A and B are shown apart, each in its own frame.
Chain A
């Protein structure tokens, strides 16, 4: 589903992503784990088409990001670290708007079902987003991904700042999305949440993918090693 081959991205003298190659099949949740500044967000921006790779290629569902970004974006959904959306609009209005931008018109009932499916209680649907907790906003973000029937969901530090309960809920939602056939790529520095959510984990540091392991095989000790720079 997602094929990254030898991608390199430099900003002036700094190499943000260095020869990244990665393949993620349909239905898998893959996590890029690494410290701040490792190049995780740049990798997401490259897949999203906000940055152009200096070398290499990125294929989403067989379509080259560099050649047909429009088609690629039709297959993508993205949830940033802190989903703000439009604070004065309700969750339902936000969902309706983002769906319309993607060219999909949902009925009120369908919007309600999408939000419910994303785990947002009905009583909150018509309240302004500004009254939502971060966890609730993330659920609207997931509903936007549902609404688009995205084949690839990209999440940037999705559990950052969430309380343990909301974080666990989000993990379940992400697993649910993957179970429905979508591919998920999340970037995070939270080993615990990654282990709970992902199938495989890529250890990312200084723009390089150091190694790929099964999520179940990563230990807390590994994280210490990563941050101490021992992993090679």
Chain B
């Protein structure tokens, strides 16, 4: 195997133009890695500055009414994962700024696409773009050429007569292309991680990325070697391989996403908001004391305190009312967002399993997942932000209720110390194990491909002209 690897590498490196191709590839990867890192740092710096500024504003608000503070609200930012520098994923298309306030859940805003960033509309230059599309295409063409070269030059008969098996030659060729392919991945990841700062979490995700790309490259090369060995004519093999590549990369993902959207449609923004509004106005409304449910809440509180009117309560009933309103709103949001999330999960699951004939789809899923730039991370951020919003608003409402004021007193103010005690939102990414669990179907499908192609490569016989 060592001699096959060494000969394949010598032969590859001495091909006319090969050094130029490798240099261009390395330069492209270097540039995209740098561009990704730069943008990550710029965005991270801007977000830190914005957070600091917002906190300063919050801490210099002065004595205020807690409910006014709930309306004043706060902003949270979806902190980009460090590996955004490697794979942009959906980040260019989704918002990363969320305004949190009382009574309502807002949508993420400030996406690159919405800001008219031309690059984001076409996909930003990231190493993943080159490592998912350009490098595997080169590996596929080299693998094809490698097998056809043996056959067209009638070397295959000399090789086999030397006593080596055809499968050993093919596996030698496979590793001779896989190793340099993986070097590009590992060097790119290594450089980015070393500049981003090592952490166990980052290394775990980088390892998952490397595994994903490693499995995919193995599949691409093995498929090219197998098909080139199976087909009689060079152009047949090449046509098949290029056809498969176009279907994998261009058509199949679009078809599966379209089918998923058709089978599990998501409500559009207007529909979603209208549904929420309708459910919300159906019962409790904190600013409408006529509601029946409000009366029930009021009765239970009055009974608990043993008084006959709100004015006699030692607390501010308005705070409780607003919190009840919040909790109803939360239930409405949970119901609607839960349905939306379920539909999204169904879409994702369908796309993932429908990617059985398309390992490229599985690689994309793995790459975005490990880089923290897929929809799963986006939804996780939304849920975390919503959980924070609930605690934030509840803290303010409870202060309004139990902070010493009485019902109807909207002029009551809390001092700055209270507001300072409310911590900022800190987003913690989903644990590594939950990421693995999300990506398990993709990993299993890639492994299934490897199993099938491994058997195929072990069994394939060279085509040797008969007459």
Q: Which residues of A contact B (CB under 8 A)?
A: 11, 16, 37, 39, 41-42, 45, 48, 50-51, 70, 73-74, 76-89, 93, 97-98, 100-103, 128, 141, 144, 148
Residues of B within 8 A of A70 (CB): 163
- Does any Cβ of A come within 8 Å of B262's Cβ? no
A-B contact sample (5 more), CB < 8 A, given A16-B467, A88-B11: A11-B467, A41-B466, A76-B161, A141-B158, A144-B162
Docked pose: A11 CA to B467 CA in angstroms: 10
Q: Which of B15, B157, B164, B465 is in CB contact (< 8 Å) with A48?
A: B157
Instruction: List, sorted by A's number, 26 A–B pairs whose CB atoms are closer than 8 Å.
Output: A11-B466, A16-B466, A39-B467, A48-B157, A48-B160, A50-B157, A70-B163, A73-B160, A73-B161, A73-B163, A76-B161, A78-B157, A78-B158, A80-B157, A80-B158, A82-B154, A83-B154, A84-B153, A86-B155, A88-B10, A88-B14, A93-B7, A97-B7, A101-B3, A101-B4, A103-B163
Q: Which residue of B lies closest to A78 (CB)?
A: B161
Residue B428 CB within 8 A of the other chain: no
B residues within 8 Å of A by Cβ?
3-4, 7, 10-11, 14-15, 153-155, 157-164, 464-467
Contact flag A50-B160 (CB < 8 Å), given A81-B154, A97-B7: yes
- Report Cα–Cα, A100/B3, bound state, in Å: 7
- Distance between A73 CB and nearest chain B CB, rounded to angstroms: 5
- Contact across chains for A101 and B163 when beta carbons are under 8 A apart: yes
For residue A71, give the distance in angstroms from its CB to the closest CB of chain B. 9
- Check B466 against A89 for contact (C-beta < 8 Å): no
Contact status B11-A86, CB under 8 Å: yes
Known: A73-B160, A86-B155, A103-B163. A42 touches B466 (CB 8 A): yes
List, in ascending order, chain B residues with CB within 8 A of A82's CB: 153-154
Contacts of A87 in B (CB 8 A): 153
Q: A85 with B160: in contact, given A16-B466, A42-B467, A97-B3 (CB under 8 Å)? A: no
Please state if B161 and A86 are interface contacts (CB–CB under 8 Å). no
Complex Cα distance, B7 from A54, in Å, reads 37
Whether A98 lies near B466 (C-beta < 8 A) is no
Query: A51, B466: Cβ atoms under 8 Å?
Result: yes
Other-chain residue from A11, A37, A128 in contact with B14 (beta carbon distance below 8 A)? A128
Cβ-closest 10 pairs across A and B: A84-B153, A88-B14, A101-B162, A100-B3, A78-B161, A102-B162, A80-B154, A101-B164, A50-B464, A97-B7
- Expressed in whole angstroms, the Cα–Cα distance for A100 and B466 within the complex equals 28
A-side contacts of B7, CB under 8 Å: 86, 89, 93, 97
Give the CA-CA distance A101 to B157 in the complex, in Å. 13
Residues of B within 8 A of A101 (CB): 3-4, 159, 162-164
Q: Are B154 and A45 in contact (CB-based, < 8 A)?
A: no
Docked pose: A80 CA to B150 CA in angstroms: 13
Alpha-carbon gap, A73 to B466, bound state (A): 19
Contact yes or no, A98 B10, CB < 8 A:
no
- Report the minimal beta-carbon distance from B197 to chain A, rounded to whole angstroms: 43
Note all chain B residues with C-beta closer than 8 A to A88: 10-11, 14-15
State whether A85 and B155 are in contact (beta carbons under 8 Å apart), knowing that A42-B466, A45-B464 are contacts in the complex: yes
When the two chains form their complex, are residues B467 and A41 in contact, meaning their CB atoms are under 8 A apart? yes
CA distance A84 to B154 in the complex (A): 7
Residue in B14, B154, B157, B163 whose beta carbon sits within 8 Å of that of A89 in the complex = B14
Nearest residue, chain A, Cβ from B2: A100
Would you give the shortest CB distance from B2 to chain A, in whole angstroms?
A: 8
- Closest chain-B Cβ to A81's Cβ sits at a distance in Å of 7
Within the complex, the shortest CB–CB distance from A13 to chain B, in Å, comes to 13
Note all chain B residues with C-beta closer than 8 A to A83: 154, 158
List of A residues within 8 angstroms of B162 by Cβ: 73, 98, 101-102, 144, 148
Determine the distance from Cα of A41 to Cα of B157 in the docked complex, in whole angstroms. 12
